[in-house]
Amino acid sequence: MPSSAPDVSTEIDVGERLQALRRFRRCTLREIAARSGLSESFLSQVERGRSSASIASLRRIANALGVSMADLFEPDGPPGPRVLRRADRPALSFGILGRKLLLTPGALHHLEVFAGELEVGGSTGAEAYAHGDSEELFVVQSGTVELELGGEVFELEPGDSIVYRSSTPHRVSNIGQELAEVMWIVSPPSY
């Protein structure tokens, strides 16, 4: 007797998907554990397929990763529209007196957007850095910054933008007298 169930040719490995999303977000198991309220060892076991997660646990993990439950089961599907609230942005300290916030709410394959805040005298670090070989658009939203880019120096003010390859060593410094807010748009993601 033929089955009325659809023929599913591929099975989604949720553990592998969780690990891929976590790595894409550049998060550690410890960070996801802290955000989700689940233990690091449990998360590790789920990622390696040694333990199963309940729907409630998967929901907590998805929220910690900033993705929808559906994203956990659609490895190749495009992410649907979703809002990332200001208070929920993953943030990390970086450089000297700096903070970087991820603005892209899902695991996008072709684009990554970060907002940055540099305190007066702050910078992305003592040395210029490079990452990957992506196109990078840098936009100043407030304050005055200096961008060192491959041996050249650019003074940028609110509304100014510049495009360069992320493989070119670069460093941003706040040379103004107020908090500088900037944005990086990187395609494809290379952080």
Name the CATH superfamily for 14-73: lambda repressor-like DNA-binding domains (1.10.260.40)
Whole-number average pLDDT of the chain:
84
Query: Comparing 12 with 67, which gets the higher pLDDT?
Result: 67
Each domain of the chain, given as residue ranges in start order, spans 14-73, 86-187
What pLDDT does residue 9 have? 35
Q: Is 179 exposed, middle or buried (0-12, 13-18, 19+ CB in 10 A)?
A: middle
What pLDDT does residue 162 have? 97
Question: CATH second-level architecture of 86-187?
Answer: Sandwich (2.60)
> Both tokens of residue 150?
């491959």
What pLDDT does residue 75 have? 58
pLDDT tens for each residue of 68-119:
777 777 655 445 567 778 888 778 788 899 888 878 766 566 788 999 999 9
The predicted model gives 134-139 an average pLDDT of: 95
User: Per-residue confidence at 173, pLDDT binned at 50, 70, 90?
Assistant: very high
Calculate the alpha carbon distances from 29 to 1, 12, 115, 183, 185 in Å. 47, 21, 24, 27, 26
Non-local (6+) Cβ contacts of 81 within 8 A are: none
Q: Does residue 7 surpass a pLDDT of 60? A: no
pLDDT tens for each residue of 31-51:
999 999 999 999 999 999 898
In 10 A of CB 57, how many CB atoms? 17
Residue 159 CA to residue 152 CA, distance in Å, equals: 20
Nearest to 47 by CA among 80, 5, 14: 14
The pTM (predicted TM-score) of the whole model is 0.59
One fold for 14-73 and 86-187: no
